[in-house]
Structure 1
Amino acid sequence: MKVNSALEISARLASWKMFDDASAVLQNCLDSHPFHPSLLQRLARIRLAQGRPAEAASLLEQALAHHRLMAK
């Protein structure tokens, strides 16, 4: 799945409070695009909505680290 498609689908699912499904879409895409900052950021937002702030923080740290690497 393409990154943009995964982001769009997961956003729609999250808006319907289908957080497990949104998470699955993002995880599937991360299998093909590991450490993609936008995917990690979106998954962090899902984790927050699921009441899992520690996981969200870890995902945001990964997204920031990889964003910095991509910017070099």
Structure 2
Amino acid sequence: MSTRFSEHAASELVETMVSEMSLEEKLAQLGGVWSTQLVEGEGDQAAFSPRKAAEVMPNGAGQVTRIAASTGLR
């Protein structure tokens, strides 16, 4: 399988990204948030909320989980 980036280039990219992250951003990568924390509305009216995302994960998150199972988002 060929990729756009060599393994060496990918390692350099990761090293650069991690070196530019704050301690708070690195710590945030250890956690996750439920998708229900990031939406407004119910059922078919549920939509991603940038406002809620900024409140819930101001430094990022390692994962967002249960997208389809917990919301009406598709």
TM range (shorter): under 0.3
| Higher RCO structure (Cα 8 Å, ≥6 apart) | 2
More strand by share: 2
Query: Taking structure 2 as the reference length, what is the TM-score of the superposition?
Result: 0.25
